[in-house]
Amino acid sequence: MNVLLGITGGIAAYKTPELVRRLRGRGADVQIVTTASAAEFVTETALQAVSGRPVRANLWDKEAEASMSHIELARWADVVLIAPATAEIMARLASGAAADLLTTLCLATEAPIAIAPAMNHVMWNNPAVQANRRTLEQRGVRILGPDYGSQACGETGAGRMLDPDEIAAIVCGPQLAGTDGQQLLAGKTVLVTAGPTREPIDPVRYITNRSSGKMGYAIASAAAAQGARVVLVSGPVSLPEPAGVEVIHVKTAAQMYAATHDSIAGVDVFIAAAAVSDYRPADAPQQKIKKTQETMRLELVRSDDILASVAGLDDAPFTIGFAAETENVRDYALGKLKNKKLDMIVANKVGEDCGFDYDDNAVDVYWRDGEQSFAKTAKTDLARQIVQLIAERYEATRGAATQPKLTVISTKDQ
Ligand code: CTP
């Protein structure tokens, strides 16, 4: 597979030699094209050494053009990847500029284009950058990330370049390269629940859990990348809204139940990734509870089960639940599959060093007559694999012949 890697001038460019190694480790040939400012962050010598090919930087390089013209280079590429992609290159791609080698190649290629944005989080959230992102997405450019976390500038937010291994996995995976852009959930509507819920005790206190929402958000992104219209009903999390996804924000389990049922008409797949509070305080006084007693009792009542209620609908979508367990993972997961009448269940062990709030995870997925294990990997990568399996199972059970709806059950979100 031929990857044309465009490197632009952001601090994350220092990670590109590693990215090249990861791409080559997956069997790709990598031809690097740099912009003028990329050289401020990574040397041509390093890039040439890891890619094994001379770096191209100049549209007017007569010698390089003589051996392979920029048009031949555009044809050579199976995939064009720009990593890191600065706000500047996004603006130039969105405007259709062709003033240098990289932008010219992007106009001249028929290969899929993917970009991995990396910039300060305030820049990423700037309306101009977001407008360019939307324009590029509408033209079919795949936007990889950015990731959320601490940034080179010392601040925290969405704007980190995705991990090189994750980028390599996507670029060399079937979605971008293998299947002529075929999207497994094109034309389908997927509803995902994600994150924790908060159940008020009084106006200043609440009961919640350790769900970060990362798995559910990654699932929503992965379903959107497969061409689905995605509605994400999200509890309170500190994650950026995934690109191309309609997000409904809720706080309590009751609100999540209502928002899910308000949106369920026409949904093909329901995926319950939220960690819904199973119980809520029986009543939450309007005023703050004062510490007048030595001990106090809190009476809790069961929340309605969103997943089971959707799976029980007459016209239920293809429904997928999550089971987060600390022990007997398989038995409990299979029990939930049966009792809640789910189509699939995604089970994982949560504990000291796995599950909630970690960036990676391993899961086992079960359905009535099959199961599949997924090894520990980044939640974004795992989500892509799970969504691919969901799409396959949906197709197998409710595929084109019967025109059924695909319901995705939300799983316990982590
Ligand atoms: N779920 C839901 N609504 C609820 C509770 C759970 O939709 N009120 C969904 C979760 O999103 C997840 C699955 O149900 O997909 C989890 O199943 P559940 O039996 O609720 O798991 P636990 O809450 O962990 O139950 P238990 O404590 O009995 O293991």
DSSP code string of 384-404: HHHHHHHHHHHHHHH-TTT--
Ligand 1 center from residue 340 Cα (angstroms): 10
Q: What is the pLDDT of residue 412?
A: 52
- Tokens read off for 65: 């053009």
The residue among 142, 177, 212 that closes a domain is 177
Pocket probe for ligand 1: among 306, 339, 340, the residue whose CB has the most ligand atoms within 8 Å is 306
C-alpha angle 204-324-343 in degrees, rounded to nearest 5: 115
Ligand 1: atom nearest CA of 336 is: 19
Q: Which domain holds residue 97?
A: 2-177
Residue 119 covered by a domain? yes
Dihedral sign of CA atoms 163, 168, 169, 171 in order: positive
Q: At which residue do the structure tokens 């990574």 appear?
A: 42
Whether residue 265 is predicted with pLDDT greater than 50 in this model: the reply is yes
What would you report as the CA-atom Rg of the chain, rounded to the nearest whole angstrom?
Answer: 23
Whether residue 199 is predicted with pLDDT greater than 50 in this model: the reply is yes
Q: What is the pLDDT of residue 86?
A: 97
Domain shared by 150 and 281, yes or no: no
Check which CATH number belongs to the domain holding 170 and give it. 3.40.50.1950
Residue 182 covered by a domain? no
Q: In this predicted model, what pLDDT tens digit does every residue of 17-57 receive, in sequence order?
A: 999 999 999 888 999 999 999 999 999 999 999 999 999 99
As a whole number, the mean pLDDT across the chain is: 89
Q: What is the pLDDT of residue 184?
A: 87
358 conformational bin, left if phi > 0, alpha if psi -120 to 50, beta if neither: beta
Domain shared by 134 and 265, yes or no: no
Whether residue 334 is predicted with pLDDT greater than 90 in this model: the reply is yes
More confident residue, 282 or 355: 282
Pocket probe for ligand 1: among 410, 411, 413, 414, the residue whose CB has the most ligand atoms within 8 Å is 410
Domain shared by 107 and 231, yes or no: no
Whether residue 329 is predicted with pLDDT greater than 70 in this model: the reply is yes
Q: What is the pLDDT of residue 293?
A: 93
Q: Is 106 a catalytic residue?
A: no
Residue 184 covered by a domain? no
Residue 290 covered by a domain? no
Domain shared by 193 and 165, yes or no: no
Domain shared by 220 and 320, yes or no: yes
Beta pairing partners, 33 = 6, 56
CB 363 within 8 A of CB 348: yes
Domain total of the chain: 2
Give which of 3, 139, 25, 168 is closest to 73, Cα–Cα: 3
Question: Cβ < 6 Å from ligand 1: which residues?
Answer: 193, 253, 272, 274, 276, 278, 303, 305-307, 321-324, 336, 409-412
Domain shared by 261 and 349, yes or no: yes
Domain shared by 167 and 64, yes or no: yes
Domain shared by 243 and 100, yes or no: no
Ligand 1 center from residue 339 Cα (angstroms): 11
Domain shared by 216 and 94, yes or no: no
- Tokens read off for 157: 């937010």
Residue 220 covered by a domain? yes
Ligand 1: atom nearest CA of 253 is: 8
Domain shared by 200 and 349, yes or no: yes
Check which CATH number belongs to the domain holding 400 and give it. 3.40.50.10300
Q: In this predicted model, what pLDDT tens digit does every residue of 346-391 receive, in sequence order?
A: 998 886 566 566 677 889 999 999 999 988 877 887 898 899 999 9
Ligand 1: atom nearest CA of 345 is: 15
Domain shared by 405 and 266, yes or no: yes
Domain shared by 128 and 210, yes or no: no
CA distance 227 to 350: 31
Please report the DSSP string for 92-117 in residue order.
Answer: HHHHT--SSHHHHHHHH--S-EEEEE
Residue 123 covered by a domain? yes
**Residues of the chain above pLDDT 90, percent:** 65
Q: In this predicted model, what pLDDT tens digit does every residue of 96-152 receive, in sequence order?
A: 999 999 999 999 999 999 999 999 999 998 999 999 998 898 888 888 888 877 888
Q: In this structure, what is the dihedral angle of CA atoms 373, 378, 379, 381, given to the nearest 10 degrees? A: -70
Residue 74 covered by a domain? yes
User: Predicted confidence band at 404 (pLDDT cuts at 50, 70, 90)?
Assistant: very low
Q: Kind and range of the H or E element at 269?
A: strand 269-272
Ligand 1 center from residue 270 Cα (angstroms): 14
Ligand 1 center from residue 54 Cα (angstroms): 55
Instruction: Give mean pLDDT, residues 321-345.
Output: 95
Residue 396 covered by a domain? yes
Which residue's CA is minimally distant from atom 17 of ligand 1? Answer: 323
Q: In this predicted model, what pLDDT tens digit does every residue of 69-80 receive, in sequence order?
A: 888 899 999 999
Q: How far apart are the first and last CA of the chain?
A: 34
Dihedral sign of CA atoms 407, 411, 413, 414 in order: negative
User: Predicted confidence band at 156 (pLDDT cuts at 50, 70, 90)?
Assistant: confident
CB 147 within 8 A of CB 162: yes
